[in-house]
Amino acid sequence: MAAGRLQQAGTQEKRGRPPRKPEGPTTMKITLVQTDIKWCSPQENMQRAEAAIASNPGSELYILPEMFTTGFCMEPQKAAEPQGGAGLAWMADAARRHNAAIAGSIAVEEGGKYYNRFYFVRPDGGYAQYDKVHLFTYSGEDKVYTKGTERKIIEYRGVRILPIICYDLRFPVFIRNRKEYDLIICVANWPAVRSKPWCTLIRARAIENQCYVAAVNRAGKDEWGEYSGDTKLIDPYGEPVAECAAGIADTVNTEIDMEALDGFRKKFPVLDDADKFILD
């Protein structure tokens, strides 16, 4: 698959806190893609993702689950692709063809280490990346993957985005909004047995941070268990705006309304009263 022009975002997106840009369109169309991932079968999983995207034309952003090419595999030597590999190349090609951003995480090998890496790929081939900071010790993820060291803010078409991956969701201090983002994207392989915490936490993160939360989880089964999906867009009041059908591969088209978000923040300025702190 053609990769198009691939370039990683500069230091502003890595470390900066880009200002909110209210000019231009006030809404963004988003498609949440809840896939049933076939275990360690990248080519088939990319084909499934491509079919889901193609059947939902017109969105500006398509969001896929955590490790959407392989499933949540604890044998990265089998699952990981090199930095700039086939998964990222497909994302860049799909972003160009559909004139939309594509987001999701992939197991990646770089410099002899393995990362659970979130990519946000724009239509022009440029991309930002975030390596999962909170590795899931319960499954041994910390023993085979290397944790990320940076919290990232990504700007896309006037919307400031905080990417997180699965277990990151449980850490509110890390996620705390310092008036620097408008949307959390959380991609996950979150098992059905813990669906109640998932549904509770995505609502809590939206409420406490006065933001939208696009929470995209996988469906189906693998050798680790079952996944109910529970993929949703949550609004800043903690209410579901749109959601996928439970337990099966599904997509849902929705949008975020930046004018409504800005109005809510001005009317009820919770973020102005937030505690001051510094992350180590």
Which residues are marked as active site? 66, 132, 166
Report residue 243 as tokens.
Answer: 């959601």
Q: Is 278 exposed, middle or buried (0-12, 13-18, 19+ CB in 10 A)?
A: exposed
Distance CA(168)–CA(190), nearest Å, equals: 11
List the one residue out of 211, 265, 261, 260 whose CA is nearest residue 233.
211
Amino acid symbol at 77? Q
Distance CA(248)–CA(190), nearest Å, equals: 14
